[in-house]
Structure 1
Amino acid sequence: MQDKEYSRLSRLTAILTELQTKRLLTSTNLALKFGVSVRTIYRDIRTLEQAGVPILTEDGKGYTLMEGYRIPPVMFTEDESNALITAERLVLLNKDASLIRNYSAAINKIKAVLQNNNIKDKIELLSERVAFWQNPNHDDATSNFLPLIQTALTDFKVIKIIYYSPNSDSITQREIEPFALINKLGESWYLIAWCRLREDYRLFRFDRIRNMEITNATFSPHKMELEEYLAQYRKNNF
């Protein structure tokens, strides 16, 4: 097989994977991701359709797979398997216990579908031979809120929290609209949210949240982009 043909086959496979992992994909985004023209993406989509993949086009929005269609499990290359194992060691340094628990469960399912016993042996060895330097208190998880906050964020649900502010040594009750999550390796997670009490965006450290409740109240999606917030935060704080 010629290099050009192999490159196209790899791209078609990658487009299939993207279609299964995302609800909508535009030809422009796909073209940028794979470094080809939009016209090339059009041809790729037609090729997949001719191969029997039920791709639907939503006018003005992009491509999506027909509801209920599932692509057979893909095989991981050795490099991809190694990347997953390395990421696992990084996750184990995280301060949120729920993330460690959920990622470990997910990675075990991935390991279970590996067909090649040789690769299984290799990733088992690699998992024992990769480590990251960490502070002495890395085992002390400081929160257990991540999946709940992620759900509230994607469902646009208002969160009610009891929050400790060390600067004023006070505890307040807040209703907040989750916007984004940020993390520095080995340290607590931060939630960026619109605080209805302060009427502004605020950073909330997970380890200062004393209690949390996801309410039934919803809010409209925030118009601001994460990079816009981070740029403004850096300008005001550095």
Structure 2
Amino acid sequence: MNDKDIKRLSRLTAIITQLQTTRLVTATSLAEKFNVSVRTIYRDIRALEQAGVPILTEDGKGYCMMNGYRLPPLMFTEKQANALILAEQLVLKNKDQSFVKDYCDAIDKIKAILKESAKNKVNLLEERTRFDQNVKRERNSNYISELQYALTNYLLISIDYVNKDNLSSQRIVEPFSLINTTENWLLIAWCRSRKEFRYFRLDRIEKMQVLIEKFEPHKMTLQQYFDKFY
């Protein structure tokens, strides 16, 4: 196998990864990402289809993987695995317990599919990498995982919230975005009682419940929100 074949195989694998992680990708975006022509991407897609990968084409929109189809886990390079371990240490600085737990659980699953030699190196790196701030790190919230679920499924949430004046209130809100600051996580949500978007600090949420009632998605991006309100 020559260098050209190796590069193409690497690109085909990366295209599969893109199709598995993004709902819809265009030939143009793939061509820009891999620095090849659109015609080359067309040939790559045909090659994947001929190899049995169930790629669907949405006319005028792009490509997507057949719903429910998943390939076996792809191999990580040693450097990629090392980057994930370093990222884990950064995550451990986070103040939300649910976010830390879910990320660490995901890392454990990734470690399980590594080759034994790579796994040993990753474990060694994990033992030898530490941030001072991670020792006995304080966790002041435990809601991110549930909020992510509510946000992506357009579900209302009920919160008992204490404001900066230590006044408590119950709100029904439509989660829109999660923002991380140097000190706390913030939820941007449409407050149904105030009839406007509000910021809510996660460490001031005393109680939260994800409701079964859905809300109508807000037709704007996060950048459009910032452009409109700030």
- Per the normalisation by structure 2, the TM-score is 0.90
1:152 alignment partner in structure 2: 150
1:111-166 residue CA offsets vs partner (Å, 9 max, x unmatched): 11112x22222111111222234288x62211111111111001101111111111
Q: 2:222 matched to 1:223?
A: no
Q: Is the 8 A contact 2:156 2:212 kept in 1?
A: yes
Deviation (angstroms), 1:188: 2.1
Give distance in 2, aligned partners of 1:149 and 1:156: 10
Give distance in 1, aligned partners of 2:78 and 2:212: 45
Stretch moving more, 77-86 or 215-224? 215-224
Give 2:153's aligned amino acid. Answer: D
Give distance in 1, aligned partners of 2:51 and 2:42: 14
1:67 alignment partner in structure 2: 67
Deviation (angstroms), 1:27: 2.1
Deviation (angstroms), 1:29: 2.8
2:96 alignment partner in structure 1: 96
Aligned residues with identical type, % of pairs? 57
Give distance in 2, aligned partners of 1:189 and 1:154: 17
Using a 3 Å threshold, how does the CA distance of structure 1 residues 232 and 134 change in structure 2: closer, same or farther?
farther
SS at match of 2:56: strand
Q: How does 1:1-238 map to 2 (within 5 A)?
A: 1-115=1-115, 117-134=116-133, 139-166=137-164, 168-184=165-181, 187-231=183-227, 236=230
Give distance in 1, aligned partners of 2:156 and 2:82: 39
Give 1:128's aligned amino acid. Answer: E
Using a 3 Å threshold, how does the CA distance of structure 1 residues 9 and 91 change in structure 2: closer, same or farther?
same
- Per the normalisation by structure 1, the TM-score is 0.88
SS at match of 1:75: coil
Deviation (angstroms), 1:31: 2.6
Using a 3 Å threshold, how does the CA distance of structure 1 residues 64 and 89 change in structure 2: closer, same or farther?
same
Give 1:152's aligned amino acid. Answer: A
Cα root mean square deviation, aligned? 2.0
Deviation (angstroms), 1:207: 0.4
1:22-62 residue CA offsets vs partner (Å, 9 max, x unmatched): 33222233233323333322221111111221111122332
Deviation (angstroms), 1:231: 4.8
SS at match of 2:60: coil
Q: Structure 1: where are the runs of 5+ without partners?
A: none
1:42-100 residue CA offsets vs partner (Å, 9 max, x unmatched): 22111111122111112233222223432122111100110111111111111111111
The number of equivalent residue pairs is: 230
1:139-196 residue CA offsets vs partner (Å, 9 max, x unmatched): 2211111111111001101111111111x332122111111111135x3211111122
Q: Would you identify which runs of 4 or more consecutive aligned residues in structure 1 move more than 6 Å?
A: none
Give distance in 1, aligned partners of 2:33 and 2:177: 23
Using a 3 Å threshold, how does the CA distance of structure 1 residues 154 and 6 change in structure 2: closer, same or farther?
same
Give 2:223's aligned amino acid. Answer: E
Give distance in 1, aligned partners of 2:121 and 2:134: 28
SS at match of 1:228: helix
Give distance in 2, aligned partners of 1:75 and 1:217: 40
Q: Is the 8 A contact 2:92 2:134 kept in 1?
A: no
Stretch moving more, 189-198 or 93-102? 189-198
Q: Is the 8 A contact 2:188 2:199 kept in 1?
A: yes
Give distance in 1, aligned partners of 2:223 and 2:66: 33
